Amino acid sequence: MVEKGLTTTETINAWVEAYSEEIGPKRGAQVVARSWIDPTFKDRLLADAAKAIEEFGFEGDATGHLKAVENTAELHNLVVCTLCSCYPFSILGIAPNWYKTAAYRSRAVRDPRGVLTEFGVSLNTDVQIHVWDSTAELRYLVLPQRPAGTESLCEEELAKLVTRNSMIGTDRNLSTQTAGES
Amino acid sequence: MDGVHDLGGKQGHGPIDVHEPVEPFHADWEARAWAVSKGIGGGAPDINIDWWRHVRETTIPVDYLTRPYLDSWLEADMVTLVDSNICTLEELVTGKSTSPAAGEAVSISVANAILANRASATKFDRPINAEPKFLVGNEIIAQQNASTGHTRLPGYVRGRHGKIHAHHGAHLFPDAVARGIEKAEHLYTVAFAARDLWPEANDSKDMIFLDLWESYLDPK
């Protein structure tokens, strides 16, 4: 590709670096944390997430038609792309491998509770699941619920509690300690 | 296209590896494959996202299900380069160019890559004169038959009843755009009840939402 004049080694290294650190799930976590502490921002996010993330400069690859879907005590949201692997790159970074596997793509729409159980999420039967299959250019961001007992935390501290998986929907009850895995 | 890629609801693909490392890339080659794809602009310059997706759908089925994901992703990029006469298969296999570079690529910094990403937010909605055929709340039946080429109507909802949940105006229509025809159609989010899709979901109140174009849908 370099010999063909299609790209350069420096450019390739720059893209590795950009997606290793800056363009990743910490962006989505900041957006979620802001929505928890600023109700007017949350309103803007739920009305037009593509526009709301421009307030952070996070718009970019695959977020032109971003939609935020909110978890509540009665509702859990789960995002999948059954036809390929559509993912809001600019706000969540590189998709985890499991998101792109046949196992997840085939089962998320048919056996979402089984999928969630494998991720360690047990839902009461009275909690309804909404599965969002990304079949067009809309991309989905799950807004997890703010954990109880975090009233004293600031936006930055709250963002550390938000896991990548919680923004896809394969995590639900966030810990009040710093985010652990994924 | 009724291909192996249309995975929704298929059974037998096993459990999910939920203990994957949190790092974005799990091997150097993954990082480089992603970055090469970003660096060259995601394939040949004369293609569009729908054509690219269709190229990936035509991957040999056993490869589609077993090749590492980013390897398969980069393969789709390479196919478009060969198809658009930018590279030959031999050049890709040997890693040596046999003709002079068509131009000189510009090197970018990490900061510029981040800016380039920011500038790449793309809108797919387009103006349309036609009135939408459906209103929010209308009941629909998804078409039983889909395009033999690229389509975004998954097999698992074909012939099934659903309800219009939202209307998004008109968006570029992938079945046409993948063939090089720029055409837009009204796009809707359609809600399907799990119990209307899966025999084992009789008692379920879960819902599955898909974003579907108008010509995929008939009134109930």
| Coil/strand/helix, residue B207 | strand
Please give the biggest Cα pair distance in chain B.
65
Best to test chain B binding among A2, A10, A15 (most B CBs inside 10 Å): A15
Best to test chain A binding among B82, B97, B209 (most A CBs inside 10 Å): B209
- Is A110's CB within 8 Å of B8's CB? yes
Structure tokens at A50: 């593509």
Q: Which residue of A has its CA nearest to B107?
A: A11
- Whole-angstrom distance, CA of residue B161 vs CA of residue A17: 46
Residue A182 confidence (pLDDT): 46
- Is B8's CB within 8 Å of A82's CB? yes
* Full 3-state SS string of A73-136: CCEEEEEECCCCCCCCHHHHCCCCHHHHCHHHHHHCCCCHHHHHHHCCCCCCCCCEEEEEECCC
- Whole-angstrom distance, CA of residue B132 vs CA of residue B124: 17
Active site residues of A: 81, 84-86
Best to test chain A binding among B4, B6, B16 (most A CBs inside 10 Å): B16
pLDDT tens-place string over residues B85-105 = 999 999 999 999 998 887 889
Structure tokens at A156: 């930055």
Neighbours of A120 (CB within 10 A): 12
Residue B103 confidence (pLDDT): 82
- DSSP-derived secondary structure letter, B59: S
What is the block-wise mean pLDDT of chain A (182 residues), using blocks of 10 residues? 92 96 97 98 98 98 97 98 97 97 98 98 96 98 97 96 97 80 46
- Is A103's CB within 8 Å of B14's CB? yes
Min Cα distance A38 → chain B (Å) is 24
CB contacts, 8 Å: B11 with chain A: 106, 110
- Is A106's CB within 8 Å of B87's CB? no
Any A CB within 8 A of B67 CB: no
Evaluate if residue B146 carries a pLDDT over 90.
no
A35-44 burial, b if ≥16 CB within 10 A, otherwise e?
bbeeeeebeb
Residue A129 confidence (pLDDT): 98
Average pLDDT over residues B155-159: 98
The model scores a pTM over 0.90: yes
Bridge partners of A178, per DSSP, are none
CB contacts, 8 Å: B152 with chain A: 83, 135-136
| AA letter at B34 | W
Residue A178 confidence (pLDDT): 62
Name the B residues in 180-219 with CB < 8 Å from any A CB.
187, 189, 197-198, 201, 205-213
- Is B7's CB within 8 Å of A90's CB? no
Complex confidence, ipTM: 0.97
CB contacts, 8 Å: A7 with chain B: 36, 39-40, 105
Any B CB within 8 A of A13 CB: yes
pLDDT tens-place string over residues B53-74 = 999 999 999 999 999 999 999 9
